[in-house]
A = this chain, B = another copy of it.
Amino acid sequence: MGRRHAENLRRLVPQAQLVAVADVAAERARRTAGELEIENSFGSLEAMLECKGLDAVIIATPDKFHADAVKTVAAAGKDMLCEKPLALTLSDAHELLDAVSKAGVRLQVGFMRRYDPAYSAAMKRIEAGEIGVPVVFKSVGRDKDGPPLSAYQANLGGMLFYTNTIHDFDLARWLMQDEVSEVHAYTTVAIRPEVAQFGDVVASVVNFKFNQGAIGNIESYAQAVYGYDVRTEIVGSKGSIMVGSMQQTPATFLTAHGKTQAIADHFLTTFADAYLAEIQDFVDAMLNDRQPRVSGEDGLRALAIAVAAENSYLQAKPVKVSAVSSVSGS
Chain B CB within 8 A of A148 CB: no
Q: Which of B12, B125, B225, B252 contacts A241 (CB 8 A)?
A: B252
Chain B CB within 8 A of A251 CB: yes
One of A87-95, A209-217, A289-297 at the interface: A209-217
The range of chain A's interface size is 35 or more
Chain B CB within 8 A of A156 CB: no
Q: Is the CB of A259 within 8 A of B239?
A: no
Closest 6 CB pairs of A and B: A245-B250, A239-B255, A190-B213, A226-B254, A118-B249, A240-B254
Q: Is the CB of B205 within 8 A of A136?
A: yes
Q: Is the CB of B118 within 8 A of A251?
A: yes
Q: Which of B14, B246, B251, B259 contacts A11 (CB 8 A)?
A: B14
Q: Which of B209, B226, B241, B243 contacts A240 (CB 8 A)?
A: B226
Q: Is the CB of A258 within 8 A of B251?
A: no
Which residues of B lie under 8 Å from residue A238 when comparing CB positions?
225, 255-256
Which residues of B lie under 8 Å from residue A208 when comparing CB positions?
186, 205
Q: Is the CB of A318 within 8 A of B239?
A: no
Chain B CB within 8 A of A316 CB: yes
Q: CB-defined interface of A100-116 with B at 8 Å, one 1/0 digit per residue?
A: 00000000000000000
A contacts, CB < 8 Å to B: 10-12, 14, 117-119, 121-122, 125, 130-133, 135-136, 138, 140, 142, 182, 184-191, 202-209, 212-217, 219, 221, 224-227, 229, 235, 237-263, 316-318
| Listed A/B pairs (22) with beta-carbon separation below 8 Å | A11-B14, A121-B248, A122-B251, A125-B251, A133-B190, A135-B191, A135-B221, A138-B205, A138-B219, A142-B235, A186-B208, A190-B212, A207-B207, A224-B240, A226-B259, A227-B254, A238-B255, A239-B253, A239-B254, A240-B253, A241-B253, A257-B260
Which residues of B lie under 8 Å from residue A263 when comparing CB positions?
254, 258-259
Q: Which B residue's beta carbon lies closest to that of A244?
A: B250
> What is the CA–CA distance of A255 and B237 in the complex, to the nearest angstrom?
10
Q: Is the CB of A209 within 8 A of B225?
A: no
> What is the CA–CA distance of A185 and B209 in the complex, to the nearest angstrom?
10
Which residues of B lie under 8 Å from residue A254 when comparing CB positions?
224, 226-227, 229, 239-242, 246, 263
| Residue from A125, A254, A260, A316 with most neighbouring chain B CB atoms (10 Å) | A254
Instruction: State the Cβ distance, A17 to closest chain B Cβ, in Å.
Output: 10
> What is the CA–CA distance of A213 and B205 in the complex, to the nearest angstrom?
13
Q: Is the CB of B245 within 8 A of A121?
A: no
Q: Which of B140, B188, B213 contacts A135 (CB 8 A)?
A: B188
> What is the CA–CA distance of A253 and B238 in the complex, to the nearest angstrom?
11
Given the interface contacts A212-B190, A224-B240, does A258 sit within 8 Å of B262 by beta carbon?
Answer: yes
> What is the CA–CA distance of A235 and B219 in the complex, to the nearest angstrom?
11
Known: A121-B251, A185-B207, A243-B251. 17 other contacts (CB 8 A): A117-B249, A121-B262, A125-B253, A135-B221, A136-B205, A190-B212, A190-B213, A205-B207, A205-B215, A207-B207, A238-B256, A239-B255, A240-B253, A247-B259, A258-B260, A259-B262, A259-B263
